Amino acid sequence: FPDGVDGILSTFALTLAPEYDQVIQRGSEALAAGGRWVILDFKLPDTWLAKLAPPLAFLTAPFGVRLEMASRHPWESIARYLPRFWLTELYGGFAYIAVGEQETEEHVVRVPDLPHR
């Protein structure tokens, strides 16, 4: 990622990458002050609806999605690498939007230079 990007958007892609955590870390480091990482992706619900995933998995198989990818949690990486984090579940918990935001300039505490002795 180039330095100082204002935003990064990933739609239904990061879960496909085994190295998603490193991708999110590098992207987070490249964000400008106030920049956002936004992810829209699939996940398994935390409810009884998760039992519907195996029979429905064939719908996403042509796109390279496998049920084993459910153990990948990119939203946790967003929460780990960025100071502000929001998560919204969609479609009964089968999808989510995760937003991480870098600190803004006004939230950065600047320490004045001390005189040298």
What is the mean pLDDT for each group of 10 consecutive residues in the chain (117 residues)? 93 89 97 96 77 68 66 91 94 89 72 57
- Output the CA–CA distances (angstroms, integers) from residue 6 to 14, 31, 88, in the order listed: 19, 6, 21
**How many domains is the chain built from?**
1
Give the model's pLDDT for residue 71.
73
State the CATH number of the domain containing residue 38. 3.40.50.150
Q: Give me the pLDDT at residue 70, please.
A: 67
Predicted model pTM: 0.74
In this predicted structure, what is the pLDDT of residue 116? Answer: 57
**109 within domain boundaries:** no
Range of the domain at 27: 5-104
Asked whether residue 20 is assigned to any structural domain, the reply reads: yes
CA-based torsion, 75, 76, 80, 85: positive or negative: positive
Any idea what DSSP says for residue 65?
-
Coil, helix or strand for 55? helix
Confirm whether 70 is domain-assigned: yes
Supply the pLDDT for residue 30. Answer: 96
* pLDDT, position 64: 66
Residue 94: per-residue pLDDT: 80
pLDDT of residue 107: 57
- Residue 74 forms part of a structural domain: yes
